[in-house]
Structure 1
Amino acid sequence: MANSSRSAQFLMESRLADAARGTAEDCFELGVAYSCGTGGMPIDLVEAHKWFNLAALKGSDEGQTMRAEIAEEMTAREIAQAQRQARAWIASTQLRAA
């Protein structure tokens, strides 16, 4: 079990590093990982919505579709939290790039 957790953590860290470079596909893949619990990660719809939102902002039609689908399973508060996290991610990556 610990091996699976380490593997999942490595996978997520790798995907986060890719997403920091900013492609829609990398953001979409993180959304899928969080919405499905890929690699033993717990399902987190707030994180999934955040990443699908970021993918959609970068032009991903799939990201837009998946964001809408999981929003149906979330409360308004959870959606607002995901949107705040997406804005914070954008701000933090812009600061790192400057």
Structure 2
Amino acid sequence: MAFTDHEIAEAHEAVRTQSDSDNLYKLGLIYSTGQELDLVQAHMWFNLAASRGSEAAKECRRELADQMSRDLIAEAQKRAREWLSVKHH
């Protein structure tokens, strides 16, 4: 699944204005597939979406965690906590 630069920018803007589980989940998809591959970022976004009730994000987060080291998972969780404390309560 590939996302265009425009779709990626739209997803980031959507999260800035409305951080609901669907928008957070979409960012997880963007960073877990295709040209923007970044498992730490993907895990972070899936974690945030899961915390807002997304069952799909919980499954994706679990699948990603199976591919990641403990250190990478810890970094993703740290980034999620920082994002919550700084940007969206």
Q: Which TM-score applies when normalising by structure 1?
A: 0.79
Normalising by the residue count of structure 2, what TM-score does the alignment of the two structures yield? 0.87
Residue 15 (str. 1) matches residue 14 (str. 2)? no
> Structure 1 residue 83 and structure 2 residue 77: aligned?
yes
Larger Rg: 1
Task: Note the aligned Cα RMSD (angstroms).
Answer: 1.5
1:3 corresponding residue in structure 2: none
- 1:36 corresponds to: 33
Identity of aligned residues (%): 34
1:57 partnered with 2:51: yes
Q: Give the unaligned 5+ runs of structure 2.
A: none
How many angstroms apart in 2 are the aligned matches of 1:29 and 1:94?
A: 17
Unaligned runs of 5+ in 1: 1-6
The size of the alignment, in residue pairs, is 85
How far apart are 1:94 and its partner, in Å? 3.5
Larger fraction in helix: 1
